[in-house]
Structure 1
Amino acid sequence: MHHNHLHERTNRPPHWLPLPGSSLAKTSSHQNIDEQDHFSKGEVVGYFPRQGFGFVRTHRGEDLYFCKVEADLVGQKKDWKYLKVGMKVGFDVAWTSKGLHVTKIKIY
């Protein structure tokens, strides 16, 4: 039984991982993607509700900026009142005119 399961995993189609050197591999290399929801994982290290912005620290220790106007909250707790410094969140990023910003935040 265990042997079958192992065989299944190695039998996955070869395209499920980005190929080294492809543009996909380069853009996603700074993110720690969760298999289940495809969000990178990070920690809220700064949040200023009145000013409406904050920072998420990636698993590599980079701090990425987000603002309430730009970023969408997703998941079951999609209300800014749930967001607290120190909590682990899922996030997605995109390039903006001001650099790399967090565009989606998922509160678990």
Structure 2
Amino acid sequence: MANENEYDSEHFPGNFYQGMILKLDRARGCGVVRSHSGKEIPFEFPFVAVVGAPIGGTMPGIDLIREGDIVGFDVGWTSRGLRITTIHPRDAAS
């Protein structure tokens, strides 16, 4: 099992890891976040939740994030490896 320092040691408010959206493909609904420590972790809609997004739709919250945004995030293990499960935009309500 991986240890927390492999993802990041800096925490975003709300106990999320801190990172930056490195790539965002709105057409495919996927992207990559680079953690504060430099690890690149993918995410994919509909398997990621964006804090503050309205409920419903195919990619709820994709309009709240952009490449270059500093975000908080949480991770989980999937059959395809480590993936982002939650993205917390900086301006989203806690």
TM-score range, shorter chain: 0.7 to 0.9
Kindly indicate whether structure 1 or structure 2 has the higher relative contact order, using CA contacts under 8 Å at least 6 residues apart: 2
Moved beyond 3 Å, runs of 4+:
none
Q: Name the residue aligned to 2:67.
A: 85
Note the alpha carbon deviations across 1:70-92, whole angstroms, 9 max, x for none: 10111x4x221021000100000
Q: Name the residue aligned to 1:18.
A: none
Q: How many residues end up aligned between the 2 structures? A: 82
Query: 1:33 deviation in Å?
Result: 4.4
Name the SS of the counterpart of 2:14 in structure 1. coil
Structure with higher Rg: it is 1
Q: Name the residue aligned to 1:37.
A: 14
Higher helix share: 1
Q: In the aligned structure 1, how far is the partner of 2:64 from the partner of 2:70?
A: 12
- RMSD across aligned positions (CA): 1.7
Name the SS of the counterpart of 2:3 in structure 1. helix
Name the SS of the counterpart of 2:76 in structure 1. strand
Report percent identity of matched pairs: 28
Name the SS of the counterpart of 2:63 in structure 1. helix
Q: In the aligned structure 2, how far is the partner of 1:92 from the partner of 1:57?
A: 12
Higher strand share: 2
Name the SS of the counterpart of 1:29 in structure 2. helix
TM-score w.r.t. the length of structure 2 is 0.78
Q: In the aligned structure 2, how far is the partner of 1:35 from the partner of 1:43?
A: 11
